[in-house]
């Protein structure tokens, strides 16, 4: 199972050659995917050689191999994590039954929708970032964005594999529709709001991979618990790649923070705009924006859908099998935040209907760990400033806080106060114009834009000044 | 809590009405915390009775207050959702009677939308600008032209069977096959899909009339609405009449309107309803009729009777027998009927006739026993005679009671009994009483304008019994007491089965088949038992079904 067949038209570890029907479906989809990649993939770099890693097997040892590849030649394919022998449905009403190898008819529609919603985010983020290559702060970062992009492409393949293998004609239609929707298009928008927003600059890009893509990690982790085994296996492998994406986001911001601190020390000022840096308050405002948009992705605090997904064994909690409880949650309670007039309070709600909020809590805790690492950098420079995650109720468009104005520290404020202060809390037009002015390409090996520090080390043991992308 | 069906645009919580020349737009923008009763939130543009009361009011006002409007666009005022249908939590916490009454009212309102298109010539179009499920799509189905945004997420769906395990009971199933002629196997598949159908396939399957990219939706809707409006015969320069606030006084068990009084007798479970005939001749001219507006007697009658029926249905569930009487001059009623016939082509008169038609239909489909008493001093002529013809049973006093010097009771036919007020089966009440000998109803045309005494009325098949003064009081008393003693459920089923003999129509199928099935399913453990789908909906628990087919 672990070995990947790279001799096939579509690299895979699922013995695709034994399933003619599926092979035909995927071979029919492959050219359409490549056409989409050419139209909507990274703009201007399709012919360049990029130092990319490619999966060679799905086990922990040596699953990646590095080498120069033109992105359209990247070997996208189908990789599933190793099956777990005797795996069972681990939660909900079907708990204890053997995990499903085929889609249960009763849940076909729901599962398909879950997979399509997840799958839709993958090409969406490639589309959102397609122009960023032209303003890269270094070859190192340029290579990283392309690595992330090709892997998002592979995650799309993973979801399409599930749709084509298990959902018949409807599944194949959905596979095509995944290539037809376009991020930000008024007529064919991507499904989730955050994936129709622009990613106009690299600060936004790093933030996206620190917070927004982390939502993807938590969604995938919940789906990896699914009683539908092929979905579980697929998501488990995707999570190994997801870790790198988080790394790109977190270290990207960390390097910007580091550079800000260096400039503050050198220039003895926290007004870095004269000196071409990104000050910590601007970083905080960008973080506030991206966090709030990403918190929305988890959905309403109280959700029947989430409860149904759980009870029916389709989508579990984060680290479901590590939790010590009955995995049914019928009588259990969970604490959720709630608006009580002008105050934000907590109350006990049914655990089943609170699963979105629970996942959001896990996610917030994870984000907080990353922010703490950035604050270490600030502290090491002897600067008295702390970056903070905004309150969960801040700037929300979905859920019970959508209709109120809340400050980043969690106080309900009047519209007038919001109007007066939101410029301190969210990126202003001036911020955006300034950040845009910084977006000048730096493509000489080993050189970095002034607003970002070099990374501590290169990729795959290569030096930082390695030619990660051959532009010549 | 008393449900009040009277409202006006200034009080709307859930709908926004806007005008652009001959096109009106009704945008649904349901306030989540604006539910009629506590215990549920109206999320995703889902609706309860309160939302539908406003819709009903808006439709009425568009007809009467806006003669210039030839097309109405029904759409959502929210960005990402058209309408998620009836609120499931509301249904779940409601009594069986409330659910049934709610569905009946919403059905009547959907039917009124279709009637407005066909007969008021105010065409309804629907711009589906976000997912529409269940009652949401059923609302679209009531319109004449459905335009679907093609954006990858806007769908039409009837998920009642797969989700809460009930039916799309607001005409959905019937309209799919009978109105839109969706092939039955496709309709079957569609009605089992939680997520519905979108895009081109929705057109191919006849579920909608066209799909357009979201960016073209507004422009397309505008163009189509203009086309529909251009085909209307409604006057462009006319002025509407104001549907002024309806005066009603409720004092104890007595409800008083201008022309109707109703005394609720709780001991006998009877509502004694007396309709007063007009106090004066109709306005001499059409202009004067327009000037009289909401005070014109036939319109006042329609509004008050409509409100009373709705009030009694929603608020007086235990009052199982409605006894109708009339008081006044048959000549004046007939004079008003003549005015309604003479000016039938006028837009306002047409609206009043249609309103009366709808109101009598409401009576027909009410789950109450309807008795009519024809006594001296009454004015059962023409339009008011429909109250006797609609009754499950009518008693007409033959002669006079001792000491009463008034003329003996008579009934009188007018032209209004021969066509303008069909029942949901498409027949007039006269024709529905003459299924054995259809020609008899036509023969009666020769008796128009003639006072028919009790023997003549009985011979013509217009009344059930004609006791004389010796038997009258006892017969009437015993008839009502016996009725009150029967099982209300058995009576409802019996009456509904007997009232609409003859042919079936879309409407009769909706009321007599779809609603009956729905009301059965609403009672069954598979929906409302402890583990029934409707009961567990929203809790995250799975339903468990009794697998036996019944």
Contact assessment for residue B28 and residue B19, using Cβ atoms and an 8 Å cutoff = no
CATH code (residue B299): 3.90.226.10
**Chain A residues with beta carbon closer than 8 angstroms to that of B191:** none
Closest chain B residue to the Cα of A309, Cα to Cα: B540
* Domain endpoint, select from B497, B514, B545: B497
How many domains does chain B contain in total? 2
B305: which 2 tokens? 């009777």
Q: Which of B193, B213, B540 sits opposite A109 (nearest CB)?
A: B193
Question: Is A11 contained in some domain?
Answer: no
The pLDDT tens digits of the residues spanning B344-371 come to 999 999 999 999 999 999 999 999 999 9
Q: Examine the pLDDT at A1 and tell me if it is beyond 50.
A: no
**Chain A residues with beta carbon closer than 8 angstroms to that of B216:** 187
pLDDT at A273 (0 to 100): 94
**Chain A residues with beta carbon closer than 8 angstroms to that of B153:** 189, 191
B127 and B194 inside one domain: yes
Q: What is the rounded distance in angstroms from the CA atom of residue B151 to the CA atom of residue B128?
A: 11
Give CA angle at A131 (A130, A132), nearest 5°: 100
Q: Which of B151, B537, B541 sits opposite A188 (nearest CB)?
A: B151
Q: State whether residue B31 sits within 8 Å of chain A by CB.
A: no
For chain A, give the mean pLDDT.
92
B362 and B446 inside one domain: yes
pLDDT at A61 (0 to 100): 58
Q: State whether residue B537 sits within 8 Å of chain A by CB.
A: yes
Closest listed residue to residue A337, CA positions, set A300, A287, A389: A300
B226 and B253 inside one domain: no
Question: Is B48 contained in some domain?
Answer: yes
**Chain B residues with beta carbon closer than 8 angstroms to that of A304:** 537-540
Q: What is the rounded distance in angstroms from the CA atom of residue B185 to the CA atom of residue A108?
A: 20
Backbone angles phi, psi at B99, to 5 degrees: -60, -45
pLDDT at A79 (0 to 100): 84
Q: What percent of chain B has pLDDT over 90?
A: 94
pLDDT at A11 (0 to 100): 84
**Chain A residues with beta carbon closer than 8 angstroms to that of B151:** 187-189
Give the domain extent around A464: 16-470
How many interchain CB pairs under 8 A, A with B?
54
Closest listed residue to residue B238, CA positions, set B297, B289, B298: B289
Q: Examine the pLDDT at A14 and tell me if it is beyond 90.
A: no
B337 and B400 inside one domain: yes
Question: Is A416 contained in some domain?
Answer: yes
User: How far, in Å, are A60, A187, B156, B302 from residue A56 at the CA level?
Assistant: 11, 39, 44, 79
pLDDT at A4 (0 to 100): 67
Q: What is the rounded distance in angstroms from the CA atom of residue A447 to the CA atom of residue A270?
A: 24
Q: What is the rounded distance in angstroms from the CA atom of residue A435 to the CA atom of residue B134?
A: 48
Question: Is B412 contained in some domain?
Answer: yes
Q: Do A353 and B542 count as a contact with CB atoms less than 8 A apart?
A: no
B199 and B293 inside one domain: no
Q: Do B540 and A307 count as a contact with CB atoms less than 8 A apart?
A: yes
The neighbouring-strand residues paired with B380 are: B411
pLDDT at B153 (0 to 100): 85
Backbone angles phi, psi at A107, to 5 degrees: -105, 10
Q: Do B540 and A311 count as a contact with CB atoms less than 8 A apart?
A: yes
| Residue A79 host element (H or E) | none
Q: Do A113 and B540 count as a contact with CB atoms less than 8 A apart?
A: no
* Chain centre distance of CA B56: 9
Gyration radius of chain B's alpha carbons: 24
Residue reference for tokens 């679907």: B148
Question: Is A4 contained in some domain?
Answer: no
Per DSSP (E only), the strands in B33-116 are 46-47, 71-76, 85-86
Q: Which of A93, A191, A353 sits opposite B153 (nearest CB)?
A: A191
Q: State whether residue B2 sits within 8 Å of chain A by CB.
A: no
Say whether B263 sits in a helix, a strand or coil.
Answer: strand
The neighbouring-strand residues paired with A469 are: A50
Q: Do A306 and B540 count as a contact with CB atoms less than 8 A apart?
A: yes
* Chain centre distance of CA B222: 29
Q: What is the rounded distance in angstroms from the CA atom of residue A282 to the CA atom of residue A274?
A: 14
Q: What is the rounded distance in angstroms from the CA atom of residue B152 to the CA atom of residue B214?
A: 10
Q: State whether residue B219 sits within 8 Å of chain A by CB.
A: no
Q: Do B539 and A307 count as a contact with CB atoms less than 8 A apart?
A: yes
Top-confidence range, A14-23, A209-218, B49-58? B49-58
**Chain A residues with beta carbon closer than 8 angstroms to that of B538:** 304, 307, 353
Question: Is A317 contained in some domain?
Answer: yes
The pLDDT tens digits of the residues spanning B321-343 come to 999 999 999 999 999 999 999 99
Q: Would you give the DSSP letter of residue A388?
A: -
Q: Which of B193, B216, B538 sits opposite A304 (nearest CB)?
A: B538
The pLDDT tens digits of the residues spanning A54-71 come to 877 666 655 678 899 999
HEC string for B473-502: HHHHHHHHHHHHHCCHHHHHHHHHHHHCCC
**Chain B residues with beta carbon closer than 8 angstroms to that of A188:** 151-152, 213
Q: What is the rounded distance in angstroms from the CA atom of residue A165 to the CA atom of residue A279?
A: 49
ipTM of this complex prediction, to 2 decimal places: 0.77
Question: Is A223 contained in some domain?
Answer: yes
**Chain A residues with beta carbon closer than 8 angstroms to that of B194:** 109-110
Contact assessment for residue B264 and residue B254, using Cβ atoms and an 8 Å cutoff = yes
Q: Which of A187, A306, A312 sits opposite B214 (nearest CB)?
A: A187
Q: Do A307 and B193 count as a contact with CB atoms less than 8 A apart?
A: no
Say whether A398 sits in a helix, a strand or coil.
Answer: coil
Q: Helix B49-65 vs helix B96-115: angle between axes, to the nearest 10 degrees? A: 20
* Domain endpoint, select from B230, B261, B281: B230
CATH code (residue A249): 1.10.620.20
B154 and B90 inside one domain: yes
Question: Is B427 contained in some domain?
Answer: yes
**Chain A residues with beta carbon closer than 8 angstroms to that of B152:** 177, 180-181, 188-189, 191
Q: What is the rounded distance in angstroms from the CA atom of residue A187 to the CA atom of residue A182?
A: 9
User: How far, in Å, are B439, B462, B466, B501 from residue B434 at the CA level?
Assistant: 8, 10, 19, 10
B375 and B412 inside one domain: yes
pLDDT at A358 (0 to 100): 95
Question: Is A3 contained in some domain?
Answer: no
Closest chain B residue to the Cα of A305, Cα to Cα: B540
The pLDDT tens digits of the residues spanning A413-434 come to 999 999 999 999 999 999 999 9
| Residue A244 host element (H or E) | helix A229-267
The pLDDT tens digits of the residues spanning B96-114 come to 999 999 999 999 999 999 9
B170 and B295 inside one domain: no
Question: Is B202 contained in some domain?
Answer: yes
B96 and B30 inside one domain: yes
**Interface list for chain A against chain B, based on CB atoms closer than 8 Å:** 93, 109-110, 112-113, 177, 180-181, 186-189, 191, 304, 306-308, 310-312, 329-330, 350, 352-353
Question: Is B123 contained in some domain?
Answer: yes
Question: Is B528 contained in some domain?
Answer: no
**Chain B residues with beta carbon closer than 8 angstroms to that of A109:** 162, 193-195
Q: Examine the pLDDT at A25 and tell me if it is beyond 50.
A: yes
B209 and B351 inside one domain: no
Q: Which of B152, B193, B539 sits opposite A188 (nearest CB)?
A: B152
What is the least distance, in Å, from the CA of B87 to any CA of chain A? 13
Beta-carbon count within 10 A of A72 CB: 13
Optimal mutation site among A93, A104, A109, A190, interface B, most CBs of chain B within 10 A: A109
Q: What is the rounded distance in angstroms from the CA atom of residue B187 to the CA atom of residue A25?
A: 28
Q: Do B540 and A310 count as a contact with CB atoms less than 8 A apart?
A: yes
* Domain endpoint, select from B230, B263, B282: B230
What is the least distance, in Å, from the CA of A279 to any CA of chain B? 37
B446 and B482 inside one domain: yes
For chain B, give the mean pLDDT.
96
Optimal mutation site among A187, A193, A305, interface B, most CBs of chain B within 10 A: A187
Instruction: Tell me what the mean pLDDT of segment B366-377 comes to.
Output: 98
Taking phi first (over 0 means left), then psi (-120 to 50 degrees means alpha), and beta for anything else, what does residue B370 get?
beta
HEC string for A6-73: CCCCCCECCCHHHCHHHHHHHHHHHHHHHHHHHHHCCCCCCCCEEEEEEECECCCCCCEEEEEEEHHH
Q: Do A93 and B542 count as a contact with CB atoms less than 8 A apart?
A: yes
Q: State whether residue B252 sits within 8 Å of chain A by CB.
A: no
Q: Do B539 and A350 count as a contact with CB atoms less than 8 A apart?
A: yes
**Chain A residues with beta carbon closer than 8 angstroms to that of B541:** 93, 307, 311, 330, 352
pLDDT at A60 (0 to 100): 60
Q: Do A330 and B151 count as a contact with CB atoms less than 8 A apart?
A: no
A11: which 2 tokens? 């690299």
B127: which 2 tokens? 């711009």
Taking phi first (over 0 means left), then psi (-120 to 50 degrees means alpha), and beta for anything else, what does residue B377 get?
left
B290 and B149 inside one domain: no
The pLDDT tens digits of the residues spanning B165-204 come to 999 989 999 999 999 999 999 999 999 999 999 999 999 9
The pLDDT tens digits of the residues spanning B30-52 come to 999 999 999 999 999 999 999 99
Question: Is B513 contained in some domain?
Answer: no
Q: Do B151 and A189 count as a contact with CB atoms less than 8 A apart?
A: yes
Question: Is A1 contained in some domain?
Answer: no
What is the least distance, in Å, from the CA of A270 to any CA of chain B? 42
Q: State whether residue B538 sits within 8 Å of chain A by CB.
A: yes
Q: What is the rounded distance in angstroms from the CA atom of residue A356 to the CA atom of residue A336?
A: 10
The pLDDT tens digits of the residues spanning B394-410 come to 999 999 998 999 999 99
The pLDDT tens digits of the residues spanning B58-67 come to 999 999 999 9
Closest chain B residue to the Cα of A117, Cα to Cα: B153
Question: Is A7 contained in some domain?
Answer: no
pLDDT at A184 (0 to 100): 92
What residues have CB less than 8 Å from B530, skipping those under 6 apart? none
pLDDT at A58 (0 to 100): 66
Q: Do A180 and B152 count as a contact with CB atoms less than 8 A apart?
A: yes
Backbone angles phi, psi at B222, to 5 degrees: -60, -45
Q: State whether residue B150 sits within 8 Å of chain A by CB.
A: yes
* Chain centre distance of CA A162: 20
What is the least distance, in Å, from the CA of B537 to any CA of chain A? 8
Give CA angle at A170 (A168, A174), nearest 5°: 120
Question: Is B520 contained in some domain?
Answer: no
Length of chain B: 550
How many domains does chain A contain in total? 1
Give the domain extent around B25: 9-230
Q: Examine the pLDDT at A162 and tell me if it is beyond 50.
A: yes
The pLDDT tens digits of the residues spanning B440-478 come to 889 999 999 999 999 999 999 999 999 999 999 999 999
């Amino acid at each position: 199972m672990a070995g990947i067949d790279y001799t096939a038209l579509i690299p895979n570890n699922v013995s695709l050659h034994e399933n003619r029907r599926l092979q035909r479906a995927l071979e029919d989809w492959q050219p359409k995917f490549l056409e989409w990649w050419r139209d909507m993939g990274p703009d201007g770099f399709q012919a360049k050689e990029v130092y990319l890693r490619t999966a060679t097997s799905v086990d922990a040892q040596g699953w990646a191999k590095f080498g120069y590849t033109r992105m359209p030649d990247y070997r996208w394919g189908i990789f599933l994590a190793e099956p777990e022998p005797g795996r069972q449905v681990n939660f909900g009403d079907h708990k204890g039954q053997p995990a499903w190898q085929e889609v249960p008819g009763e849940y076909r529609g729901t599962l398909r929708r879950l997979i399509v919603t997840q799958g839709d985010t993958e090409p969406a983020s490639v589309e959102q970032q397609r122009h960023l290559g032209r303003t890269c702060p270094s070859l190192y970062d340029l290579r990283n964005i392309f690595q992330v992009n090709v892997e998002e492409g592979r995650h799309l393949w993973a979801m399409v594999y599930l749709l084509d293998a298990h959902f018949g004609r409807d599944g194949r239609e959905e596979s095509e529709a995944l290539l037809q929707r376009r991020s930000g298009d008024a007529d064919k928008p991507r499904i989730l709001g955050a994936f129709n927003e622009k990613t106009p600059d690299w600060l936004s890009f790093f933030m996206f991979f620190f917070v927004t893509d982390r939502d993807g990690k938590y969604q995938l982790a919940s789906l990896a618990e699914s009683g539908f085994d092929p979905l579980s296996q697929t998501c488990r492998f995707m999570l190994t790649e997801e870790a790198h994406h988080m790394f790109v986001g977190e270290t990207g911001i960390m390097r910007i923070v580091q550079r800000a601190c260096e400039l503050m020390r050198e220039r003895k000022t926290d007004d870095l705009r004269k000196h071409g840096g990104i000050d910590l308050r601007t970083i905080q405002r960008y973080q506030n924006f991206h966090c709030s948009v990403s918190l929305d992705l988890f959905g309403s605090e109280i959700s029947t859908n989430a409860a149904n997904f759980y009870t029916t064994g389709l989508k579990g909690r984060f680290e479901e099998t590590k939790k010590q409880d009955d995995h049914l949650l019928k009588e259990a309670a969970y604490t959720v935040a709630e608006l009580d007039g002008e105050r934000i309070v907590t109350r006990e709600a049914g655990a089943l209907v609170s699963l979105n909020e629970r996942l959001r809590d896990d996610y917030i805790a994870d984000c907080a760990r990353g922010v703490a690492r950035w604050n270490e950098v600030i502290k090491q420079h002897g600067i008295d400033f702390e970056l903070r995650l905004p309150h969960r109720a801040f700037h929300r468009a979905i859920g019970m806080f959508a209709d109120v104005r809340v400050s980043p520290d969690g106080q309900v404020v009047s519209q007038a106060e919001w109007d007066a202060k939101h410029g301190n809390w969210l990126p202003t037009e001036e911020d955006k114009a300034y950040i845009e002015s910084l977006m000048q390409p730096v493509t000489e090996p080993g050189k970095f834009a002034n607003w970002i520090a070099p990374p501590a080390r290169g990729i795959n043991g290569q030096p930082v000044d390695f030619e990660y992308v051959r532009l010549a | 809590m008393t449900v009040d069906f009277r409202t006006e645009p200034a009080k709307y919580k859930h709908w926004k009405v806007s005008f652009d020349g001959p096109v009106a737009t009704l945008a649904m923008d349901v306030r989540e915390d604006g539910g009629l009763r506590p215990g549920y939130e109206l999320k995703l543009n889902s609706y309860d009775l309160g939302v539908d009361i406003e819709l009903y009011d808006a439709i009425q006002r568009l007809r009467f207050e806006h003669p210039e409007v030839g097309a109405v666009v029904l759409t959502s005022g929210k960005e990402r959702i058209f309408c998620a249908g009836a609120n499931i939590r509301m249904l779940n916490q409601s009594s069986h009677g409330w659910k049934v009454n709610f569905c009946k009212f919403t059905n009547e309102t959907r039917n009124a939308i279709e009637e407005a298109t066909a007969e008021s010539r105010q065409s309804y179009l629907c711009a589906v600008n976000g997912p529409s499920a269940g009652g949401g799509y059923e609302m679209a189905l009531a319109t004449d032209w459905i335009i679907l945004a093609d954006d990858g997420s806007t769908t039409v769906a009837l998920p009642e069977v797969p989700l809460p395990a009930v039916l799309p009971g607001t005409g959905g199933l019937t309209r799919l096959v009978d109105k839109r002629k969706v092939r039955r196997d496709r309709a079957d598949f569609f009605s089992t899909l939680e997520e519905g159908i979108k895009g081109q396939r929705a057109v191919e399957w006849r579920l909608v009339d066209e799909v357009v990219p979201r960016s073209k939706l507004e422009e397309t809707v505008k163009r189509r609405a203009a086309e529909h409006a251009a085909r209307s015969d409604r006057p462009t320069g006319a002025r509407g009449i104001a549907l002024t606030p309806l005066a009603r006084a409720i004092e104890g068990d007595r409800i008083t309107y201008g022309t109707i009084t109703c005394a609720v007798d709780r001991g006998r479970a009877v509502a004694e309803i007396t309709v007063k005939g007009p106090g004066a001749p109709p306005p001499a001219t059409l202009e004067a009729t327009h000037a009289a507006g909401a005070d014109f007697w036939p319109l006042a009658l329609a509004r008050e009777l409509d409100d009373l029926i709705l009030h009694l249905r929603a608020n007086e569930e235990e009052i199982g027998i409605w006894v109708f009487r009339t008081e006044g001059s048959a000549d004046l009623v007939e004079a008003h009927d003549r005015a309604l016939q003479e000016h039938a082509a006028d837009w306002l008169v047409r609206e009043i006739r249609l309103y009366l038609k709808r109101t009598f239909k409401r009576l027909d489909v009410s789950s109450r026993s309807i008795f009519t008493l024809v006594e001296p001093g009454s004015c059962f002529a023409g339009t008011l005679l429909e109250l006797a013809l609609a009754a499950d049973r009518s008693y007409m006093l033959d002669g006079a009671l001792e000491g009463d010097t008034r003329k003996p009771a008579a009934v009188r036919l007018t032209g209004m009994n021969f066509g303008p007020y069909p029942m949901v089966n498409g027949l007039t009440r006269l024709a529905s009483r003459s299924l054995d000998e259809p020609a008899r109803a036509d023969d009666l045309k020769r008796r128009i304008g003639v006072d028919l005494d009790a023997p003549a009325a009985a011979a013509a098949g217009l009344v059930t019994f004609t006791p004389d003064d010796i038997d009258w009081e006892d017969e009437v008393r015993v008839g009502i007491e016996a009725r009150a003693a029967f099982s209300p459920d058995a009576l409802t089923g019996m009456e509904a089965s007997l009232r609409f003999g003859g042919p079936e129509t879309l409407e009769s199928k909706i009321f007599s088949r779809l609603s009956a099935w729905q009301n059965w399913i609403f009672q069954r453990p598979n929906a409302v038992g402890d583990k029934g789908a409707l009961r567990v909906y929203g809790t995250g628990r799975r339903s468990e079904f009794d697998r036996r087919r019944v």
